[in-house]
Amino acid sequence: MKDGNILIQSLVGRGDAVDGNVFKWVFPIGPTYWGQAANDIEYIKQKSGGNLKGVKVAFFYIDYPFGQEPIGILKTLAQKEGFELQLVPYPLPGNDQASAWTQIRRLNPDWIVSWSLSNMHVIASREMKRNGISIEKYIAVNWLNEVDIKNIGPDVAKGLKRGTNVAGGSYQPLVQQIIKELYERGKGNGHRKFTKDVYYNTGLAIYSIAFEGARLAIKNGGWPLTPDKIKTGLESLKNYDANGLIAPITVTAQDHGGGGKTRIEMWDGEKWVAQTDWIAGVQDEV
C-alpha cells in the first residue's frame, strides 16, 4: 500500500491492519474476523459462568482463507482460557459437509463456531439434524441472513445464533430515513423488501463509516478532499454509531479498528433477539 492511498475495509478488513502504526493508510474500521471470533468466545465464556476450562468448542469452517482467518486467535484464546479447541474444516464449494459433521458428532462439542457463507449454513442445519446435534450450539459468523433463515426454515432455525456487526431490521433510524426520503418517493434503489435484510444494513454501515470520515475531513480541512484529509477525518471518528446501526466506534492514528464490538443474536422462530450487549472481548490478544 503506497503512502497517500486510502484503503477502507469497514467490517471486513484483515485483523492485523487495525494497527495504525504499521498500516498507516488502511482502515479496517469495526470488528474484524479476529475480533468477531474472540467475541464469540467471550459469549461462550459468559454462558459458562466465566470459566472456559473443560469446555469443548468446535471451529467449523470452509477451508480457504476466509474460513481459516480466525484460527490463530482461537488457538491463542484456547491456550489462555483452557478450553478445548477442535478444528473441523470442510472443502469448497461447501456442499459436502457430511464427513465434517460426522466428526463433530463424535467430538460432541459444547459449542460450534461456524465460519460459513449463505447456503453452507442451510446444509449445516440439515447435517446437524441428521446427526442429532442441537442447532442451539451453532454460532454463525455474521454472514447469515434472513434468506438463509427462510431456507433453513424459521421453526427449524429456532435457537440458532450468530455474531453480528450491525443492528438488523428496517426499523433502524437510518433505514427508516432512507425509506421515507427515497422509497416512499419512488426513488429507492432495488426492491424495498431488501431493506429488511441484515445484509442491507451491513452495506449501509460500511458506506456510512466512509461518508462520515469524508464529512469530518471536509469539516476539518475543507475542500478539495485529499488522502491526507480523509486519513485525518477517519482518525477523528469518535463514538460514531450511525444512529444506532453499529456499536460506537472511535478511531485513532494508532487504532484503525475502532473497538471491534459485536453482539450475539438468537433466532427465536420469528425474529432475532439480542443475547448480549455490544461486546469486545480480549482486545489485548486481538
CB 164 within 8 A of CB 31: no
Position 3 scores a pLDDT of 60
CB 139 within 8 A of CB 264: yes
pLDDT tens digits along 215-258: 999 999 999 999 999 999 999 999 999 999 999 999 999 999 99
CB 214 within 8 A of CB 9: no
pLDDT tens digits along 153-184: 999 999 999 999 999 989 999 999 999 999 99
Q: Which residue has the cell 464529512?
A: 215
pLDDT tens digits along 249-274: 999 999 999 988 999 999 999 999 99
Amino acid at 226: T
Q: Give backbone dihedrals phi and psi of 79, rounded to 5 degrees, phi first.
A: -65, -40
- Rg value, the chain, Cα: 20
The mean pLDDT value for 9-21 works out to 92
The mean pLDDT value for 92-118 works out to 97
Q: Which residues contact 204 (CB under 8 A, 6 or more apart)?
A: 166, 174, 175, 178, 242, 245
Produce one character per residue of 117-155: b if its CB has 16 or more CB atoms within 10 Å, e if not: beebbbbbbebbeeeebebebbbbbbbbbbebbeebeee
Residue 197 has pLDDT above 70, yes or no: yes
Q: Which residues contact 152 (CB under 8 A, 6 or more apart)?
A: 121, 122, 125, 160
Position 264 scores a pLDDT of 97
Q: Which CATH superfamily is domain 33-166+262-274 in?
A: Response regulator (3.40.50.2300)
Q: Can you tell me the distance from the alpha carbon of 186 to that of 208, in angstroms, rounded to the nearest whole number?
A: 22
pTM over 0.75: yes
**C-alpha cell of 186?**
419512488
Q: What is the DSSP string of 235-283?
A: TT--SB-TTTTB--B---SSBSS----BEEEEE-SSSEEE-S-SB---T
Position 284 scores a pLDDT of 80
**C-alpha cell of 193?**
423488501
Residue 152 has pLDDT above 60, yes or no: yes
Tabulate helix, strand, coil % of the chain (nearest 5): 40, 15, 45
Do β-strands 111-115 and 161-164 pair in parallel, antiparallel, or remain unpaired?
unpaired
CB 127 within 8 A of CB 97: yes
Position 13 scores a pLDDT of 86
Residue 1 has pLDDT above 70, yes or no: no
Alpha helices of 1-62 — where are they, by DSSP H?
Answer: 33-47
Q: Which residue has the cell 427465536?
A: 268
Residue 2 has pLDDT above 70, yes or no: no
Position 232 scores a pLDDT of 97
Position 281 scores a pLDDT of 81
Domain ranges of the chain: 33-166+262-274
pLDDT tens digits along 48-95: 999 999 999 999 999 999 999 999 999 999 999 999 999 999 999 999
